[in-house]
Amino acid sequence: MNSVSPSAVQYVGGVMQDELVESRRQQPLERQGSFGLRPPHTPEHGREATGEPDELDKLKAKLMSAWNNVKYGWTVKSKTSFNKISPVTVMGHSYLLNSEDEVERFRLAFVSRIWLTYRREFPQLDGSTWTTDCGWGCMLRSGQMLLAQGLLVHLMPRDWAWPDAQQLTEVDFEVFRPRSPARAGGVPIPSFGSPRGSNTPEKSLASDHAPKCSQKKRPESVRDRQAEPVHRKLVSWFGDQPPAPFGLHQLVEIGKSSGKKAGDWYGPSIVAHILRKAVAKTSVLHNLAVYVAQDCTVYKEDVVNLCDLSLSQSPPDPSSQAWKSVIIFVPVRLGGEALNPSYIECVKNILKLDCCIGIIGGKPKHSLYFVGFQDEQLLYLDPHYSQPVVDFSQVNFSLESFHCSSPKKMPFTRMDPSCTIGFYAKNKKDFESLCSAVSVALSSSQEKYPIFTFVEGQGQDYGLEGHSSNNSGPAAHILPPGKLGRSNNRRNSDEFVFL
């Protein structure tokens, strides 16, 4: 994994470029992935048939785990700068950081997101020797965060915020010209680690004496506190224990049907389908469905068939209004080897929507979960930080390691073109509004062809063997009838269509 630039680094999550090149020289190409390097593996037909690793494999896995636990266990103390002139967008909401009230709202919005990172010392993954996902599970962790955001919107009160959200750390609020590299004239505004409305001297945001919460309570704090049991249960669903419905053990097990195993690279498209299967498999959610778009197209009737419960009734009940909430994942590729700059404005407009639950992708060789932006930089949560496994059998297990207090940014231009965009609709009316709002955002692209499209009908109406929610494999790009094809000889890469 590549190292992060000084302006965007949060954790020591990667190796230097020359180290990466050297390590690639020492491995066959098939062991390398778009978002990380696969651990050493010595395939022998005997062991593959039994699925049992030999002693050499076990030793290699232990050494790799030990090295990754050290490498990803160090944090880098570098500040992220935010200006007071341009708004910061987080999950469809904008914050102009020119007052303490606005910074407080931004703090709660960011820290309340579920943060899922590498973990170590969890129960051994079935059929392997892995007890950590350090070095290979970053895309699975990013996918978990995307699903967790969808579940937060689905289960928690509207605009819920974690009452115990930590104070922001390693941030710098400045006045400087947006998009300007010059920072010499930056003027910091008062620290928001101190109580709002107080006249106390400025304190460091990372100060141990900073209060957990502002003294001025939000009107929704009582409601948010009442929702804490649901918050705690939701987090436990992502625990690193075999029974957890969306934990790493379950996701790796589901991934086996797609030819993936522990230690392999998982792309954003494969992860979308793994998450779909995990939601369909679990019994903890009865009124939520996941739809994965196929070939950069959302087929509306397929979504209706997935969500409209009256269609499954025999005979159909016209008066029935039962409708499952839906999370929509759209795997796309925003360019060839690098991000096409023409799509940046479109991605911004998508992140501004209330129905958007984020984007998983990252930068080359480094998976991230994007939750917003300011000016020409994306705001993200980084899974590349090794933490000890949490024991969820404890009644009052700590939630602190599942929430990040250090917002980080990176330029749009460094974004990997392969990504999956997430949306959520609570009911049929919300789905119709989603289709309309997202279509408007997609039309803002400077490119002739949109990132993806919504079309009437089902996938099978356009020559597809089945709708996307039942098909986890790659598909050829088929334009709706009446649309002109761009090329019949399209190169396929990472299961995405080049735009």
Could you tell me the residue ranges of all domains in the chain? Answer: 17-196+203-470
- The pLDDT of 90-107, averaged and rounded, is 95
pLDDT for residue 126: 92
Max Cα–Cα distance, the chain, nearest Å:
72
**Of the listed 356, 382, 403, 467, which one is catalytic?**
382
Q: Is the pLDDT of residue 494 over 60?
A: no
CB of 173 within 8 A of CB of 188? yes
Lookup: tokens for 116: 């899922």
Residue 478 banded pLDDT, cuts 50, 70, 90: very low
Active site residue 384: yes
382 has catalytic annotation: yes
Do residues 97 and 88 lie in contact, with contact meaning Cβ atoms separated by under 8 Å? Answer: yes
Neighbours of 359 (CB within 10 A): 27
Out of 154, 384, 403, 467, the active site residue is 384
Residue 356: name the closest of 372, 340, 343 by CA.
Answer: 372
Higher per-residue pLDDT: 9 or 332: 332
Per-residue pLDDT, 36: 44
pLDDT at 341 over 70: yes
Give yes or no for a contact between 408 and 335, defined as CB atoms under 8 angstroms apart.
no
- Across 16-25, 94-103, 348-357, 368-377, least confident range: 16-25
Yes or no: say if 451 and 438 are a contact pair by the CB < 8 Å rule.
no
Task: Give the tens place of pLDDT for each residue, 383-430.
Answer: 999 999 999 999 889 999 999 999 999 999 999 999 999 999 999 999
Q: What is the pLDDT of residue 66?
A: 59
Torsion over CA: 423, 160, 325, 399 (sign): positive
Give 443-449 contacts, CB < 8 A, sequence gap 24+: 444/345, 444/346, 444/349, 445/342, 445/343, 445/345, 445/346, 446/342, 446/343, 446/345, 446/346, 447/340, 447/342, 447/343, 447/499, 449/486, 449/499
The pLDDT-based confidence of 67 (bands split at 50, 70, 90) is low
The beta strand positions in 209-349, using DSSP E, are 288-292, 297-299, 325-333
Q: Which residue has the higher pLDDT, 213 or 177?
A: 177
Q: Which helix (H) or strand (E) holds 421?
A: strand 418-425
Q: Report whether 447 contacts 340 (CB < 8 A).
A: yes
Asked if the model's pLDDT at residue 198 lies above 50, the reply is no
pLDDT, position 21: 33
Q: What's the mean pLDDT in 306-313?
A: 83
Calpha distance 113→138 (Å, rounded) = 17
Say whether pLDDT at 238 is over 50.
Answer: yes
Band of pLDDT at residue 310, cut at 50, 70 and 90: confident
Rg (CA), the chain: 23
Which pLDDT value is given to residue 68?
Answer: 61
* Predicted local distance difference test score (pLDDT) of residue 365: 74
Please report which confidence band the pLDDT of residue 361 belongs to, taking 50, 70 and 90 as the band edges.
very high
- The tokens for 277 are 């299967």
* Between 40 and 414, residue with greater pLDDT: 414
For 493, phi and psi rounded to 5 degrees? Answer: -145, 130
Q: What is the mean pLDDT of the chain?
A: 77
What SS3 class is residue 387?
strand
Q: Which pTM was predicted?
A: 0.76
Nearest-10 Cα torsion for 27, 474, 414, 67: -40
